Amino acid sequence: MGIEEYGGGQGPEPDVLVVTTNDAPGYRVQEVLGEVFGLTVRSRHLGSQIGAGLKSMVGGELKGLTKTLVETRTQAMVRLVEQARARGANAVLAFRFDVTEAADVGTEVCAYGTAVVLARE
């Protein structure tokens, strides 16, 4: 797995800016549209679960699980951006991920933040 498969986030000039901060330098908040989120639940197939179990006995990175989590977070973030865009936002402030186990059958990943309309100062 190459380095490009381990990361996520936005490209260089997104139409909806997503930041983890409560503000964006050089911009002022014109309008707060409210909370937005993107949610996905993923499960792993039996073969990869067995492989991960064996790997955990000897130690080391669980690369298949890492790749799945990166893909899952990316999908949740894409859904968050789609919801923000649909509400008329051009930014999401205070962006976070929340990850939980979903009834022992998968992993729930929720990307959330506050949709806003920003204007350059």
Whole-angstrom Cα distance, residue 4 to residue 8?
Answer: 8
| pLDDT in the model for residue 80 | 97
- Show pLDDT as tens, one digit a residue, over the chain (121 residues): 565 666 777 777 789 999 999 999 999 999 999 999 999 988 765 455 555 555 566 667 777 777 878 888 999 999 999 999 999 999 999 999 999 887 777 788 999 999 999 999 9
pLDDT at res. 46: 47
Q: What string of DSSP letters covers 79-113?
A: HHHHHHHHTT-SEEEEEEEEEEEETTTEEEEEEEE
Those residues with Cβ within 8 angstroms of residue 40's Cβ, 6 or more apart along the chain or in another chain: 72, 75, 76, 79, 108, 109
∠ CA 25-10-2, nearest 5°, is: 135
**Residue count (the chain):** 121
Q: How far is CA 25 from CA 13, 18, 19, 110, in A?
A: 16, 13, 11, 26
The closest alpha carbon to 8, from 68, 64, 61, belongs to 68
